[in-house]
Amino acid sequence: MGFGIIGGMDHLLPRPRLTETGAGSAEIAPGSVVSGPAPLADAVRLALPVLGLRPGDAATAAVRVAEDPGLGPEAYALTIAGDGVRITAADPAGAFYAGQTLRQLLPAEAFRSALVPGTSWTVPCGRVEDAPGFSWRGAHLDVARTFLPKREVLRMIDLMAAHKLNRLHLHLADDQGWRVESRAFPLLHEVGSHRPRTITSHRGEEPAFDDVPHGGHYTLADLTEIAAYARARAVTVVPEIDVPGHASAVLAAYPALAARPRERYEVLDRWGISPAILSPLPATVDFLTTVFAEISDALGDVPYFHIGGDECVLDDWAASAEISAYQASLGLESVGDLHAWFLRRLADALAGRGSRTVVWDEAFVSGGLRPDTIVMPWRGEHVGRRAAAAGHDVVATPVFPMYFDYAEAASPEEPAGLGDAITVADVAAFAPAPPAWLEEERARVVGVQFQLWSEHIPDGRALDYRAWPRGCAAAEIAWTGGPAAEDFLRRLDAHLARLDAFGVEYRPLSGPRPWQRGGAGWRRHRPGDVAVQDVMRHLHELSQSADSTRPSM
Ligand code: TNX
C-alpha cells in the first residue's frame, strides 16, 4: 500500500486524516449484508440508503463492522480489501461517517435515491483513518424569516450528514415569524406564524411589498420527527428562541409580555432591527420557561438550547417605570445588567433541564453568563477571542466568511444577497481557531458554523444555491480543524458530481446558471451596496463598545 492521497482515495470531502491507497477494488452489490453490533451496523446501512444493505452474519457480509472502544467520538477506521470492507468505530456516529466515506468512494450514483442500472458498485482498496478536528460542525437555518417546510429541513439533514456536519441550529423565532406549535400558548403559532406580505425593496429604495402572505410552523410532532431523523444521522438539533429582542411575532400574539404592554404589535413584513422587546419581568421568564420545556420535550434529548440575546433595543426597558423599579429591586445598575440578568435566569432554567445555553456574542459582552454558556461570536474574531479567554466554549460564526446570506460575487448576475462577497475560497481559507491566539484560547473553539439568514432566501431552491458549495468548504474546515488543504478545489470538483446526483441546485463555481440569476427586478443583486468588509469593521467597533446592547446593523 502506498501512503498519500493518490489513486482512488483522493476525492474525499471533507479530507480524512489519513488515507492509504491499495491495489484492486471490492464490490458492494445492492442488497449486500452488513454485520456487526446493531447500533453501528444500522448507522452504516443508513449512510448508504440507495444500496438497500441488509443486516446479517459476518460469514456472508460484504461490510463487517466492529466496535473499537479505543477510538474517539465520531472517529472511524475503514479498510477495503479484496475480501470486503471492515469498519471500526467507538460509536454510531463514527460508523455512520465510515459509511459516508464509503459512499464517496462509490460512484456518484450512490447519491441518487434509487439504483441506476449499469452502475459498477465497486470501491478502491485501501485504508482510511479519520476523526474530526472540531466537535461542533454546524449549519444554521433561519426558518423564521422564510419558513422552510419540514421536507426541506429533512433534506438539509441528509446533506449535512453527507458532509459530516453534526449540528443543525434552527432559528425558530424572530420578528417576522414564530415557527413552532405551543399547546400552552397557542396564539404563538396561530397568530405569530404568518404575515400578510414581505418587503421586496432594497436598502435606500422606496418601500415596496410582494402582497403575498407568508407563513408556516412545525408542530411539536414535526419537531420530534426532525430531531429523531437528525439523531439517526449523527446530527443534533439546536433550537433557538431569540430573546428578549427580535420579539414582534411573540408580541403580536401576547402583547402583555412587552415592555410596552399597551402597544399593538404585528408580525413584521420588513427586515432590520425592531424596537419590539419582551419585558424582563418574572411573567416573561415563566412564559419562556414553559415554552422552552415544550420544545425540549418535543425534541427529546436537548444538549444545547440557543436563546439569542442579540440586537436588543433596551429603550422600552429604560422608559418603563415598572421595569425600572424591578431593576432597582434586584440591585442592578443598568438596563444592560438587567439584560444579562434576564438571560442568566433563562440559562439557569435550561441547565435545570440538562441543556447548555448558547448565545450570540452581545450576551457575552453584557456579562454575567453562566460559565458553561457557549458563545457564537458573529461580530468577528476579536469578540470571539475575548469570550474564549474568559473561558467560554466558542463556535466560530463570524459574518465573514460564515454568513452565507451574502452573495458569492459582487455581480448583478447574482440573486440578491444581503451584501457581498463571500466566496468558496474565503470559506476554505478560514481558520476558526486562529494561530495567533494563545493555545488555551484556541482550545476553547469547539467548532464552526455557517449561517443561512433567510431575508434573501425565498425558497428551497435559493437555499441550495446559497448553501452549496460554500457548505462543502465549511464542512472541510469543520472536520479537519483548520483551513482547507490546497487540493480542496480539485476534490470539490469531483464532489460536485455527487451533489448533481443528489439533486442539489448548488452555485456552479463559474457562476449562476441563467435561471439562478436574480433577473432584472427585485431579486437582482445590487453589487457593492453593502460590502462585507465594511460590515465587519462596523461590527467589530460595536463589539468593543461598552454599550453592548446597542443594536448593531
Ligand atoms: C444579523 S447575527 C442578525 C440577523 C440577520 C443577519 C443578516 C445576528 C445574531 N443577527 O438577525 O438576519 O444579521 O445577515
pLDDT per position as a tens digit, 215-234: 999 999 999 999 999 999 99
Nearest CA-CA partner of 159 in 8, 13, 54: 13
340 CA from centroid of ligand 1 (Å) = 20
Residues 6+ apart with CB under 8 A from 308: 240, 241, 242, 243, 245, 246, 359, 360, 363
Q: 40-75, pLDDT tens digit by residue?
A: 999 999 999 999 999 999 999 999 999 999 999 999
- The type of residue at 553 is M
Q: 115-156, pLDDT tens digit by residue?
A: 999 999 999 999 999 999 999 999 999 999 999 999 999 999
453 CA from centroid of ligand 1 (Å) = 7
Assess whether 49 and 105 both reside in one domain: yes
Rounded mean pLDDT of the chain?
Answer: 96
> Stretch 242-262: mean pLDDT, rounded?
98
Residue 8 in this model has a pLDDT that exceeds 80 = no
- The type of residue at 201 is S
445 CA from centroid of ligand 1 (Å) = 21
The CATH number assigned to the domain holding 82 equals: 3.30.379.10
HSE-up (13 A, CA, CB side) for residue 352: 10
Q: Tell me the best of 248, 310, 361 to mutate to test the pocket of ligand 1, counting ligand atoms within 8 Å of each CB and taking the most.
A: 310
Q: Quote the number of domains for the chain.
A: 2
Question: Whose Cα sits closest to atom 8 in ligand 1?
Answer: 310
> Stretch 362-383: mean pLDDT, rounded?
97
Assess whether 80 and 159 both reside in one domain: no
Give the confidence band of 552 by pLDDT, cuts at 50, 70, 90: low
Question: Whose Cα sits closest to atom 6 in ligand 1?
Answer: 453
What is d(CA 249, CA 268) in angstroms, rounded to the nearest whole number? Answer: 7
Assess whether 318 and 442 both reside in one domain: yes
Assess whether 211 and 99 both reside in one domain: no
Q: Which of 109, 152, 174, 476 is catalytic?
A: 174
145 Cα nearest atom in ligand 1: 12
Residue 553 in this model has a pLDDT that exceeds 80 = no
Assess whether 55 and 186 both reside in one domain: no
Q: 188-208, pLDDT tens digit by residue?
A: 999 999 999 999 999 889 999
348 CA from centroid of ligand 1 (Å) = 25
Assess whether 383 and 516 both reside in one domain: yes
Q: 404-446, pLDDT tens digit by residue?
A: 999 999 999 999 999 999 999 999 999 999 999 999 999 999 9
What is d(CA 543, CA 416) in angstroms, rounded to the nearest whole number? Answer: 27
548 part of a folded domain: no
Give the confidence band of 511 by pLDDT, cuts at 50, 70, 90: very high
The CATH number assigned to the domain holding 143 equals: 3.20.20.80
| Of the residues 108, 130, 152, the one at which a domain ends | 130
What is d(CA 178, CA 193) in angstroms, rounded to the nearest whole number? Answer: 5
Is 393 designated active site? no
- The type of residue at 211 is D
Assess whether 93 and 153 both reside in one domain: no
What is d(CA 325, CA 347) in angstroms, rounded to the nearest whole number? Answer: 23
Dihedral angle at the C-alpha atoms of 186, 189, 195, 196, nearest 10 degrees? -60
Assess whether 111 and 185 both reside in one domain: no
Q: What is the distance of C-alpha 251 from the center of its chain? A: 26
463 part of a folded domain: yes
Q: 440-483, pLDDT tens digit by residue?
A: 999 999 999 999 999 999 999 999 999 999 999 999 999 999 99
- The type of residue at 26 is A
360 Cα nearest atom in ligand 1: 9
Assess whether 122 and 196 both reside in one domain: no
Q: Give the rounded percent of residues in the chain with a pLDDT score beyond 90.
A: 96
Q: Tell me the best of 143, 146, 311 to mutate to test the pocket of ligand 1, counting ligand atoms within 8 Å of each CB and taking the most.
A: 311
310 Cα nearest atom in ligand 1: 9
Residue 290 in this model has a pLDDT that exceeds 50 = yes
550 part of a folded domain: no
What is d(CA 245, CA 158) in angstroms, rounded to the nearest whole number? Answer: 32
User: Ligand 1: which residues within 6 Å by Cβ?
Assistant: 310-311, 360, 378, 403, 405, 418, 453, 455, 553
298 CA from centroid of ligand 1 (Å) = 26
Assess whether 229 and 316 both reside in one domain: yes
State which residues form the domain around 36. Answer: 7-130
Q: What is the distance of C-alpha 34 from the center of its chain? A: 31
pLDDT at 212: 98
pLDDT at 3: 39
427 CA from centroid of ligand 1 (Å) = 18
pLDDT at 337: 96
Question: Whose Cα sits closest to atom 2 in ligand 1?
Answer: 378
pLDDT at 173: 98
Residue 551 in this model has a pLDDT that exceeds 80 = no
Q: Which of 130, 311, 381, 476 is catalytic?
A: 311
Q: 314-333, pLDDT tens digit by residue?
A: 999 999 999 999 999 999 99
2 part of a folded domain: no
311 part of a folded domain: yes
| Of the residues 101, 130, 159, the one at which a domain ends | 130
Q: Longest C-alpha distance within the chain, in Å?
A: 78
Give the confidence band of 546 by pLDDT, cuts at 50, 70, 90: low
Q: Tell me the best of 375, 453, 457 to mutate to test the pocket of ligand 1, counting ligand atoms within 8 Å of each CB and taking the most.
A: 453
Assess whether 242 and 99 both reside in one domain: no
230 CA from centroid of ligand 1 (Å) = 25
Q: Give the rounded percent of residues in the chain with a pLDDT score beyond 70.
A: 97
pLDDT at 549: 58
Nearest CA-CA partner of 291 in 147, 189, 166, 222: 189
DSSP 416: P
Q: Which of 169, 189, 246, 525 is catalytic?
A: 246
> Stretch 331-336: mean pLDDT, rounded?
96
547 part of a folded domain: no
* Residues 267/246, Cβ–Cβ less than 8 Å: no
pLDDT at 5: 35
Is 174 designated active site? yes
HSE-up (13 A, CA, CB side) for residue 388: 24
| Of the residues 130, 158, 178, the one at which a domain ends | 130
419 part of a folded domain: yes
- The type of residue at 482 is G
Q: Where are the beta strands (DSSP E) in 316-362?
A: 356-360
273 Cα nearest atom in ligand 1: 11
146 part of a folded domain: yes
Give the confidence band of 545 by pLDDT, cuts at 50, 70, 90: confident
> Stretch 98-112: mean pLDDT, rounded?
98
Assess whether 79 and 153 both reside in one domain: no
